[in-house]
Structure 1
Amino acid sequence: MRKTLLLLLLSCLAHVLHAEDGYDLWLRYKRIDNNMLLTSYRKTITAIQVAGQSPTMDAVKKELEQGLNGLLDTHITVTSKVAGNTLIAGTREALTALKLQDNQTPAEGFLITSKTIDNKHYTIITANTETDVLYGAFHLLRLIQTHQSIENLHIISSPRVKLRLLNHWDNLNRYVERGYAGISIWNWHTLPDYIDDRYIDYARANASVGINGTVLNNVNANATILTAPYLRKVAALANILRPYGIKVYLSARFSAPMEIGHLKTADPLNDTVRQWWQAKVKEIYQLIPDFGGFLVKANSEGQPGPQSYGRSHADGANMMADAVAPFGGIVIWRAFVYDPQANDRFKQAYAEFTPLDGKFNKNVLVQVKNGPIDFQPREPFSPLFGAMPQTPLMMEFQLTQEYLGQGTHLVYEAPLFKEVLDADTHAKGPNSSVAKVIDGSLYEHTLSGIAAVSNIGNERNWTGHLFGQANWYALGRLAWDYTLTSEQIATEWIQQTFSNDPAVVTSIKQIMLTSREAVVNYMTPLGLHHIMGNGHHYGPAPWSNNAPRPDWDPIYYHKADAKGIGFDRTASGTNALQQYQPAVRQLYADSNTCSDQYLLWFHHVSWQHKMHSGRTLWNELCHKYQEGVDSVSAMQQRWEQLKPYIDPERFHQVQMLLAIQHKDAIWWRNACLLYFQTFSQMPFPASYEKPDHTLEYYQQQHFPYAPGN
């Protein structure tokens, strides 16, 4: 009996140790379950040769060994000898004996090619830098994970954007602002002496999708991170991330010269202030020779900045840019500003920054949120894109789902990213896409970048919601190549994260590709925006009208009244449309031809307004909210059908979260429609499910401890 119980206990323990909990992300490296492909892979690669010894080439070797041994379920010999069917990885300089054509290897990026030498077959990964070789190694492993052929390869891949960053809104006490995946992964208390293996796996995950930089701390910065003890902690992280091609950046508090330097001013034109920053930067680069630079949030939401001294954003950015320039550093200056006195928050960033075009130093990037308000489920692209031809602009997306259901809703964000990147600014005529602004090609800028606010924490699966991983993955893949489709990226992620079974891939992909539109419909359909609960932004509160400033209240944005609903941004309203090029203005200027997606962004229309569907606005609003709920129901049903194919732990986690999402979608639908009905005075369509509570019930809901606030 004891023996039986012991065996049972060991069996249970083994299951726990090998349970799929999401920690491995898309780098699971499970055995290929297609025997024909497995045989082909084993024949094509029987040995690994890595040319060169360095921390990065050691990472290449380790990743190839771990990946190939896991995927091929065999022992791959690491050799220094030239033999047939060998995978060779190294820089062009290290592989000169292979006599590869000079024009094959891109200046930045990698080449993967199959080559026969003396009747022996080789698979070669090469590049001009060791980091690019690492990217090539991850790409080859991705091909195998997704069951692609690796015979007769000739792949040349280059990143379209130079800086591909994660922005961590992590505080020094490990609290993550707008974070829904636990506390910060950076344990500042135990650094620099204790190096968690999680830091290395974080670096691996980022390198696998081409992310090459990370801002370690919150844009609402604490000057303490620039003190000597904390810089040593930052240096320890930089040492871990460096072999994986990842530079560290810091959010800098503009008033740091006063707070930790004990100066009486932070005026960017003050010589003592400039000298303080120059000395601080020199101190940083002595510890971290490849330090990336500073990210700055200034004169926004109470943060200090140059305007406090009558100076411009350019004055502030250039002062800091001068300090980092001798070391090759850059300054990323956020354009997220808005004045509570402005008649339309939409217009403020454009108004403040376009007069400064051409006045920023060459090593300054202005970082612009994808839309003009604040990471809403759907926004038109920011009018700044295409309006500052002499200034390189950096895209800022938000992976963490502050306005997208936070940690409990399944929302695949690649369609949102693509919608913005593919949008045409018409800045230089047709085909002047936002992506061409961002990659520098439209105005011939050499500095380019995409960043996203991360949702990475100390949760075992990194992102809280398992499908949050897909957004991290998508950010990296699109920053490397924004021509990829949302479907292509979803397919890759599913194949590496769950299964290559076509039925599984198809079903999960359908869930993912419909998820973003679902959340738009049950939260903010037809161009509604920013009607979330105040502060925490969790749940609906379109009635809210008690914030310290008007542009923090939902009623500021929907402007519902007896006549209709929506924010008039045409010439008869705030005229925010004037900030776009004429061809873009024409798309939205007429409420009768404006797309339904942006109608209430740009127009205040009657409840009886006839929509493209033929329904009245009120009935269309009801239809969209119901459609959102129905979409989540369909997502649940598809997930349930996958139970035989998904491991129990991950299946059950997603199952429970989808149940929460369905309940929340109903809550959004009921609360919003009941509130807007007080203005429309129109009945709910007969075929739709009626709310099961009163408006007063929903208005009394309070969430003082909602996460991420």
Structure 2
Amino acid sequence: MIALFLVISKGFCMQDQGYGLWFDYRPVTENTIGYTTLFQQVHIDPEISNKAVIQNEIELAAFGMLSIQPEMTEASSATLTIIRYDRLNKELLQAFDVNNISLKPEGFAILPGSRTVLITALDDAGLLYGTYRFLQRIQSGAIIKNLKEISNPKVKVRILNHWDNLDRTVERGYAGSSIWNWHKLPEYKDPRYTDYARANASIGINSTVLTNVNANALVLTPDWIKKVKALADIFRPYGIRVYLTARFSAPMEIGNLQTADPLDPAVKKWWADKCDELYKLIPDFGGFLVKANSEGQPGPQNYGRTHAEGANMLADALAPHGGIVMWRAFVYSEHDRDDRAKQAFSEFVPLDGTFRKNVLLQVKNGPIDFQPREPFHPMFGAMPKTNMMPEFQITQEYLGFSTHLVFLPKLFEETLDADTYRQGSGSTVSKVTDGSMFGNALTGMAGVSNIGSDINWTGHPFAQANWYGFGRLAWDPYLDSATIAREWLALTYSQEPAFLDAMTPALLQTRETVVKYMTPLGLHHIMNAGHHYGPGPWIDQMSRDDWNSVYYHKADSTGLGFDRSSKGSNATSQYAQEIASLYNDIKTCPEELLLWFHHVPWNYKMKNGETLWNSLGITYQEGVDEVANLNKLWQDQKKYVPEPEFNEVSMLLEIQYKEACWWRDACMTYFQKFSHRPFPEVMGTPEHDLNYYKSLEFPYAPGIRPKWN
């Protein structure tokens, strides 16, 4: 029997603390909607491989939402029929007009009749996704006639990247330790692994990378591959393929070779043999994610080879098995004195057309590093002959960890909707992502996971929305974040219009709020060093220039900001001319990116009529005020939310308010050193002096990268 959500002592369900996520199947109001009728007789295609999984989900949902036990029948004329398209009989084809729908692999159709529903798909995965979507619509209160939905995934590889280490620490993880208990695997299979697979399948995620991009070669040894196999076996019925991070120097570290040169025949053979070993135990193994020649990780450049030569060597080893390589473009060298924002573009774009067809170049949403706001990465659309996938960070490394409420699908949407102009107007990042811009068959979207061992999976209850939202956008990168926010709120808390009307716009505002009190007007990378917890615009003693905050904001007596215009580092030249012209001119550059692209005088007059200095303080204060308003709004939602989660969010909002004030005061106090201007009246005077803020230390902040790699 597949695991049901766990229960702790004295009858207190872990759903009440968020374990149930967005599919905890709370009771729904029957009224005249006729849900009970739908579950009277359920027919599930007996020929599909995941029949037991689908049946279990139907039974859990029917019992949880309606307190009924559905009757399973072999008759295809049931009230709910879940059947593969190629097995539809003539009666079903005619009754539901199925001939007029278009289905693709993993896609599904939900077709309602008067008192019946048909769910059909080309394959078993599609039937599972259709079932989950059907149950979500029921849980959201949709009436039967409005259940119709035909949906095909627009992206092929929809993947979570876990930055989990083999010792169960999680780099940039803020929700406890890793959920992978490697010590007990392969024999002990935690029921949570099944619930993890259920959660991902429920939003269309079909792949997972189990290990950190700062890789440990040990996971590729025989005993560890057996542990990976145990997880792959659990995930398989849910349509989820397992990937691993490949440490480029593994042939030397665990293979006793003297080199890892990708052109060396012995190295090629070692990786080919390793792939044979992996696929023998895990026939649907997905492939490798690789971080190479970045932040100390080994790579092909160690041997004078290109990224393409390194990626292609691994791609050739995987190709006979149908595997792929996801090669990260997050590179910046301490030996390159040019603007860090330019380095990935400069290094990879000249290699366009040299990567194998089973290589996906994985590109962060912006050119620096998952900042609260960045312009879209200039590589999007600039490599028409190369498969490319965006990488988003679901975990909140730079956005307040798991103590700040930030709805990240708004950030993801901002990138996906950005127009690259690479093929004229309308050449959005979404069209790069789904392959439609250049006709790429291999497509993907990656999200750095925010999942950990905390009861509620993600640390902050509302951080679940970021996992959910990533999955929905990976399925369809054209979805709008408002739809996703309302969906998640209805599934997780309440369908009441008063709750949804209040909380949906509030949720959509949270990302902008965080930008305001952390990095307004295009500021970036001004967090504290190492752990990245809290403000640190004064950081200037790190071993590399581009690890220091002062490198990015360049505050001086004349002004603030990094000049990336044609008069500065000329990073704007890496964009299409339409974008470059917009960013180059201080008058047309969007103010939310002004300090990203320009060094702006303190007395520069902004669109609000205020000077840059005053606008900076006003914007910081707006962010603080918006957190206070969110807290007040949340207090009015108590009747809609389980008490444990309501109290948890309330306490976290208090922390967020305190830390928003900290960001405002620390940054403005520091920048005043250069502006020599009084603080804007609206923000008042900071509580402490600069020495106090600089003296704060946090040696045990979570998510710091382990020393061993």
State the TM bucket, normalised to the shorter chain. Answer: over 0.9
The 8 Å contact of residues 342 and 348 in structure 1, kept in 2 or not, is answered as no
Residues 67 and 508 from structure 1, CA distance in 2 versus in 1: closer, same or farther, beyond 3 angstroms?
same
What residue in structure 2 maps to residue 223 of structure 1? 217
State yes or no: 1:139 paired with 2:158: no
CA distance in 1, matches of 2:163, 2:682: 44
Q: Which moved more, 1:92-101 or 1:201-210?
A: 92-101
In the alignment, which residue of structure 2 is the partner of 1:309?
303
Which residue of structure 1 lines up, in the alignment, with residue 29 of structure 2? Answer: 33
Distance 1:34 1:507 in 2: 25
1:14 Cα deviation (Å)?
4.4
SS at match of 1:93: helix
Q: Cα distance, 1:83 vs. partner?
A: 4.7
Cα distance change, pair 706–684 in 1 and its aligned pair in 2 (3 A): same
Tell me which residue corresponds to 2:110: 112
Whether 1:52 and 2:46 are equivalent positions in the alignment is yes
| Structure 1 residue 140, shift from structure 2 partner | 0.4
Name the structure 1 match of 2:412.
417
Q: Is the 8 A contact 1:44 1:151 kept in 2?
A: no
Structure 2 equivalent of residue 179 of structure 1: 173
1:23 and 2:16 correspond = no
Contact 1:220 1:303 in 2 (8 A): yes
Distance in 1 between the 2:659 and 2:300 partners?
Answer: 42
Shift of 1:102: 4.2
CA–CA separation in structure 1 for the residues paired with 2:702 and 2:441: 39
- The aligned counterpart of 1:7 is none
Q: Contact 1:21/1:460 (CA < 8 Å) preserved in 2?
A: yes
Tell me how far apart the structure 1 counterparts of residues 344 and 116 of structure 2 sit (CA, whole Å): 54
CA distance in 2, matches of 1:632, 1:56: 45
**Which SS does the other structure have where 2:145 is aligned?**
coil
- TM-fit CA distance, 1:98: 4.3
3-state SS in 2 of match to 1:36: coil
**Identity of paired residues, percent?**
55
Name the CA distance, whole Å, in 2 between partners of 1:538 and 1:146.
37
Residues 234-287 of structure 1: per-residue CA shift (max 9 Å, x gap): 011000000000000000000000000010000000000000000000000000
Q: Per the alignment, do residues 512 and 22 of structure 1 end up closer, same or farther by CA in structure 2, a change over 3 Å counting?
A: same
Write the deviation string for residues 10-36 of structure 1: whole angstroms up to 9, x where unpaired: xx9645247601000001101113633
Structure 2: how far apart are the matches of 1:105 and 1:124? 15
Task: Give the equivalent residue in structure 2 for 1:6.
Answer: none
Partners of 2:108 and 2:15 lie apart in 1 by 35
The reply on whether 1:63 has 2:57 as its aligned counterpart is yes
- 2:29 is matched by which residue type in structure 1? D
Report if aligned partners of 2:14, 2:455 keep a CA contact under 8 Å in 1.
no
Q: What is residue 376 of structure 2 aligned with on the other side? A: 381
The residue type paired with residue 531 of structure 1 is I
Who is 2:486 aligned against?
Answer: 491
In the aligned structure 1, how far is the partner of 2:587 from the partner of 2:41? 65
In 2, distance between residues paired with 1:95 and 1:57?
16
Normalising by structure 2, report the TM-score.
Answer: 0.96
What amino acid is the match of 2:345?
A: Y
**Could you give the per-residue CA deviations for residues 138-186 of structure 1, whole angstroms, max 9, x where no partner exists?**
0101111111122365421001111100000000000000000001000
Counterpart for residue 444 of structure 2: 449
Could you tell me whether the CA contact under 8 Å between 1:51 and 1:90 is conserved in 2?
Answer: yes
Q: Does residue 367 in structure 1 map to residue 365 in structure 2? A: no
Does 2:566 align with 1:571?
yes
In the superposition, relative to structure 1, how do residues 34 and 554 fare at CA in structure 2: closer, same or farther (>3 Å)?
farther
The answer to whether structure 1 residue 592 and structure 2 residue 587 are counterparts is: yes
Q: Paired residue for 2:398, among 403, 407, 411?
A: 403
CA separation of 1:15 and 1:510: change in aligned 2, threshold 3 A: farther
Q: What is the CA distance between 1:230 and its match in structure 2?
A: 0.4
1:625 equivalent in alignment to 2:610: no
Q: Is the 8 A contact 2:494 2:500 kept in 1?
A: yes
Q: Deviations over 1:520-551 (max 9, x none)?
A: 00000000000000111100000110101010
Pick one of 76, 86, 89 that aligns with 2:82: 89
Q: In structure 2, what is the equivalent of residue 561 of structure 1? A: 556
Q: Deviations over 1:534-593 (max 9, x none)?
A: 111100000110101010000000000000000000111100000000001122111122
- 1:211 alignment partner in structure 2: 205
Q: Deviations over 1:461-514 (max 9, x none)?
A: 000111110000000001111222111101110111101111112222233111
Counterpart CA distance in 1 for 2:456 and 2:382 is 40
Q: Give the letter for the 2:509 counterpart.
A: T
Tell me, yes or no, if the aligned pair for 2:134 and 2:147 is still in contact at 8 Å: no
Of residues 631, 638, 661, the one that matches 1:636 is 631
What whole-Å deviation, never above 9, does each CA across 1:655-699 have from its counterpart, x for those lacking one? Answer: 010000000000000000000011000111223222111111101
How much is the aligned-residue C-alpha RMSD, in angstroms?
1.4
Q: 1:504 aligns with which of 481, 499, 502?
A: 499
**Counterpart amino acid of residue 27 in structure 2:** R
Alignment of 1:243-258 (within 5 A): 243-258=237-252
Compared CA separation, residues 107 and 82, structure 1 to 2 (3 A): closer
Of residues 610-619 and 144-153 in structure 1, the stretch that sits farther from structure 2 once superposed is 144-153
Cα distance per residue 1:345-399 (max 9 Å; x no partner):
0000000000100000000000000000000000000000011010010110000
Tell me, in whole angstroms, the C-alpha distance in 2 between the residues paired with 1:519 and 1:623.
14
Secondary structure of 1:365's aligned partner: strand
- Counterpart CA distance in 2 for 1:599 and 1:671 is 21
Distance 1:82 1:418, change over 3 A: closer
Please tell me whether the aligned partners of residues 413 and 471 of structure 1 are also in contact (alpha carbons under 8 angstroms): yes
8 Å CA contact retained: 1:306, 1:313: yes
What TM-score, normalized to structure 1?
Answer: 0.96
Between the aligned partners of 2:456 and 2:555, the Cα distance in structure 1 is 41
State the alpha-carbon separation in 1 of the partners of residues 573 and 76 from structure 2. Answer: 65
Distance 1:18 1:307, change over 3 A: closer
1:671-682 map, 5 Å: 671-682=666-677
Do the aligned residues in 2 keep the contact of 1:105 with 1:127 (CA within 8 Å)?
no
Aligned letter for 2:80?
Answer: L
Which residue type is aligned with residue 26 of structure 1? W
Task: Select between 672-681 and 56-65 the one with higher mean Cα deviation.
Answer: 56-65
Show structure 1 runs of 4+ deviating over 6 A.
none
Amino acid at match of 2:140: T
Shift in CA distance, 105/130, structure 1 to aligned 2, threshold 3 Å:
farther
For 2:75 and 2:357, locate their aligned partners in 1 and report how far apart those are by CA, in whole Å.
47
Task: Give the match for residue 532 of structure 2.
Answer: 537
Whether contact under 8 Å (1:200, 1:240) holds in the other structure is yes
In structure 1, runs of 5+ residues without a counterpart are 1-11
What stretches of structure 2 of length at least 5 have no aligned partner?
Answer: 1-7, 705-709
